[in-house]
Chains A and B, each alone.
Chain A
């Protein structure tokens, strides 16, 4: 899940730097055989409690207890690595989908098939989010993506329909820009937030993360550059994370924005802006938008005790029953990954239906490049940042990005 970042990043950085450089390891107490431990990022009290309720409901019939260890989203990976080095990794490990390949590659994760979890009936995009080199190592209970959110009142006042193509987007954004209000807002920050928002444009235009300079990615860069050149987008987007974009939208300073369903609680809690969701515009009418799929996945680290692995597998199976997935998806505003659960979700929440449609065709960031994703992520961020700030043209920027991305290839 792409969640609001900001302060967390730094807290994470500081927290992560000290112990790792020291090479010290966490405490490795022998765990109670009746307890299944989970490492996740549910540091928010409400999210932690909601999660515990689902976990308890699954564990009780099995005579088990579940204990969550929650750390900030950006420290999950480094915490997990430290735990791994002292053989004290939890029974279930919940990671951001984009981090899974790094862990799967280590050989430290148990293929889900071996712990008795069947992923038949899951959407293809969700399956790809949890797999590495053809093996299913992790499962996503729910996933998210990005869509175009718009301010109904502002669009009505300007007599603009929600745009469906890039040309319409540009025209609409221009028309909606007036006074203190920009027509459009997105995050172009040089980190995961910005890259996540760039991908639907990059991919829909034919861009390819394996060959950044295949000649088709430039279109998306040009579009972003034009939107800024028209004055329809604030020059500050190079600093805005997804949270900032939402703040601008809620403050009425942006008529349309790219964002994800995790903003729904914030948007629903305010009554200043009447909003709605549409799919992300595509280059030409009739095309399908290719959006990135995001969310957390749950994996089972290898353990000396196969009983523990089996218990973890049983909990995962239960969490991913159709009923639990639907209820979980509703509680976090994400789309369930079982096709059948997703269908009932769309039925019950028509206002979020565009997300459901997107998720079915959405693409995993790591499906093609696997463990190289973090390098590609940085290269892409460099590309749109240098284009938006006028340091390079789209073509040169992507050539440079490709050089950067392949420099790390071994």
Chain B
């Protein structure tokens, strides 16, 4: 992990880094020799040029990511209400918003629901997506056609899928219960969306269905990258399919897997539209997530300060995973190449 640090040092103003002798001795020497040569052109204005290339991206980041982020943090310490929009006044109230949100039972519940929803969705999406990707990586007739059909959930707008699922999961007249009853599996009908103990599970199920295509496509792409010879070698060695999967497929797929999981995590943890359309957070708040609570606080109760607090919590959670992802990726660059 520490190998990642030196490149940043290339912008260090002092070329023969005084601390270099102590710190880089542990990480390995090669990088150290390369550094002074990198430094040199700086005086000819190359460095300035380099910064000019980076500048648009930096400005973009500052404007569209930095600014809202800072605003959101500041807002969470303010009494930010409709009045603010008219008068521009947003008095600072210290930790009031934070205290209010953290003492709200709904917040703790939604945190828990978000965790279950995210872990459940990711597990389901990933395992099914991977299974399908492996399945389709063999060539057979109609494979293309079936794959195209499997992509459909991805193409349908989230809200539309949710509304269709809401009909299908109706306790009395939904097609799912009708089918289950026809084969004698569920007598009174499963209360998919009308029981607080089942609704979150149903929401996870729908989200898995929505997420499978994404997982499948990316993992399928990753599988295509694995050289065929490795599989031939494995079969010559007499490895079982499971052993081949574990020792060839999984390790070589690792970088793709991290991408899929992290991107999946980011989009799942802030879920809002699916749940609003499916259950509106009910029944009895059993499907409230951090996303729906933010929506409720900000846009229904118009308490933008408290809404910002929940938003910040979401940002922190996402940021932690983004950092983990970056570190994992760096490790890949270090060892994989």
Number of interface residues of A (CB under 8 A): 51
Contact status A105-B82, CB under 8 Å: yes
A7-B159, A189-B282, A407-B103 are contacts. A13–B276 as well, Cβ < 8 Å? yes
Q: Which residue on chain B has the smallest CB distance to residue A247?
A: B167
Check if B100 is an interface residue, CB within 8 A of chain A: yes
User: Within 8 Å CB of B83, what residues of A?
Assistant: 105-108
Other-chain contact of B86, A84, A391, A407 (Cβ < 8 Å): A84
B-facing mask of A176-193, CB < 8 A → 1, else 0? 000010000000011100
B172 lies within 8 A of A385 (CB): no
A378 close to B (CB within 8 Å): yes
| Given A236-B171, A374-B301, A374-B302, A106 and B282 contact (CB-CB distance below 8 Å) | no
Please tell me if the beta carbons of A191 and B280 are within 8 angstroms of each other in the complex: yes
- With contacts A82-B85, A391-B196 known, is A239 near B276, CB below 8 A? no
Contact bitstring A398-409, B, C-beta under 8 A = 1, else 0: 000000000110
Cross-chain contact of A235 among B68, B72, B191, B302 (Cβ < 8 A): B191
Would you call B311 and A386 a contact (CB within 8 A)?
A: no
List which A370-410 residues lie within 8 A (CB) of chain B: 374-375, 377-378, 381-382, 385-386, 388-389, 391, 407-408
In the complex, B76 has a CB within 8 A of chain A = no
State the main secondary structure of chain B at its contact with A: helix
Residue in B closest to A7 when the chains form the complex, CB atoms: B159
B195 in the interface (beta carbon within 8 A): yes
**Size bracket, chain B contacts:** 35 or more
A23 close to chain B: CB less than 8 A: yes
A21 at interface by CB-CB < 8 Å = yes
List chain B residues, Cβ under 8 A from A190: 279-285
A385 x B284 contact (CB < 8 A): yes
A235 touches B273 (CB 8 A): no
User: Counting CB contacts under 8 A, is A10 at the interface?
Assistant: yes
The CA of A381 and the CA of B296, in the complex, are separated in Å by: 13
Contact of A239 among B64, B193, B296, B301 (CB under 8 A): B193
Contacts of A105 in B (CB 8 A): 82-83
Which residues does chain B contribute within 8 Å of A22, judged by CB atoms?
Answer: 64, 67-68
A271 CB, nearest partner CB in chain B, Å: 22
CA distance A106 to B84 in the complex (A): 8
Q: Is A234 located at the chain interface by the 8 A CB criterion?
A: yes
Q: Most chain-A CB neighbours within 10 Å: which of B103, B281, B311?
A: B281
**Nearest Cβ on chain B to A328's Cβ, whole angstroms:** 28
Please indicate the chain B residues that have their CB under 8 angstroms from the CB of A21 in the complex: 68, 71-72, 311
Using a Cβ cutoff of 8 Å, how many contacts connect chains A and B?
Answer: 144
Q: Is the CB of A13 within 8 A of B280?
A: no
Q: From the candidates A253, A374, A391, A407, name the one contacting B284 in the complex (CB within 8 A).
A: A391
Bound Cα distance A78, B301 (Å): 11
Contact A10 B273 (CB under 8 A): yes
B165: min CB distance to chain A, Å? 11
Across-interface contacts of A23 in B (CB, < 8 A) = 67-68, 71
Majority DSSP secondary structure for residues of A touching B: helix
Say whether B329 faces chain A, with CB atoms less than 8 Å apart: no
Bound state CA distance, A253 and B171, in angstroms? 13
B14-60 contacts to A, CB under 8 A, are none
- Residues of chain B with a CB closer than 8 A to A11's CB: 159
Per-residue B-contact encoding for A98-112, CB less than 8 Å = 1, 0 else:
000011011110000
Chain B contacts of A375 at CB under 8 A? Answer: 301
Any chain A CB within 8 A of the CB of B318? Answer: no
Give 1 or 0 for each of A5-30: 1 = CB within 8 Å of chain B CB. 01101111110110011110000000
A65 smallest CB distance to B (angstroms)? 27
Q: Within residues 186 to 239 of chain A, which ones have a CB less than 8 A from any CB in chain B?
A: 189-191, 234-239
A148 to B298, CA, bound (A): 34
Residues of A within 8 A of B68 (CB): 21-23
Asked if A107 and B87 make an inter-chain contact with CB atoms under 8 angstroms apart, the answer reads yes
User: Is there an interface contact between B163 and A6, defined as CB atoms closer than 8 Å?
Assistant: yes
Query: Which residues from A are CB-within-8-Å of B85?
Result: 81-82, 84-85, 106
- Which residues from B are CB-within-8-Å of A106? 81-83, 85-87
Task: Tell me which residues from 219 to 248 in chain B have a Cβ below 8 Å from any Cβ of chain A.
Answer: none
Contact indicator B272/A13 (Cβ below 8 Å): yes
Expressed in whole angstroms, the Cα–Cα distance for A301 and B87 within the complex equals 13
Whole-angstrom distance between the Cβ of B101 and the nearest chain A Cβ: 11
With an 8 A cutoff between CB atoms, is A77 at the interface?
yes
Contacts A13-B272, A108-B86, A236-B193: A378 and B159 contacting too (C-beta < 8 A)?
no
Which chain B residue has the least Cβ–Cβ distance from A302? B86
Contact B284 A85 (CB under 8 A): no
Return the CB mask of B134-178 against A: 1 if under 8 Å, else 0.
Answer: 000000000000000000000000111011001000111100000
- Residues in B neighbouring A10, C-beta threshold 8 A: 158-159, 162, 272-273, 276-277
User: Given contacts A190-B280, A391-B284, is CB(A407)–CB(B104) below 8 Å?
Assistant: yes
- Nearest residue, chain B, Cβ from A374: B301
Q: Residues 235-278 of chain A: 1 if any B CB is under 8 Å from the residue's CB, otherwise 0?
A: 11111000000000000010000000000000000000000000
B88 within 8 A of A: yes
Query: Are B166 and A239 touching (Cβ within 8 A)?
Result: yes
Contacts of A14 in B (CB 8 A): 272-273
Chain B residues, Cβ within 8 Å of A377: 300
Q: Is B194 an interface residue (CB 8 A)?
A: yes
Which of B72, B85, B272 is most buried by chain A, counting CB atoms within 10 A of its CB? B85
B117 at the A interface (CB under 8 A): no
Is A389 touching B196 in the complex (CB atoms < 8 A)?
A: yes
Residues of B within 8 A of A77 (CB): 82, 299, 302
**A12 to B280, alpha carbons, bound, how many Å?**
14
Give the distance to chain B from A254, nearest Cβ to Cβ, in Å.
11
Taking CB atoms, residues of chain B closer than 8 Å to A7 are 159-160, 163, 277
Please give, as numbers and ranges, the residues of chain B lying within 8 Å of A6 by CB-CB distance: 163, 277
> Which of the residues B82, B195, B276, B300 comes within 8 Å of A81, measured between beta carbons?
B82
Measured between beta carbons, the chain A residues less than 8 angstroms from B88 are 85
22 pairs of residues in contact across A and B, judged by CB atoms under 8 Å: A6-B163, A10-B162, A11-B159, A13-B276, A13-B295, A13-B299, A23-B71, A103-B82, A105-B83, A107-B83, A190-B285, A239-B279, A239-B280, A239-B283, A374-B300, A378-B301, A385-B282, A385-B283, A385-B284, A385-B285, A389-B286, A391-B196
Using a CB–CB cutoff of 8 Å, the interface residues on chain B facing chain A are: 64, 67-68, 71-72, 81-88, 100, 103-104, 158-160, 162-163, 166, 170-173, 191, 193-196, 272-273, 276-277, 279-286, 295-296, 298-304, 311
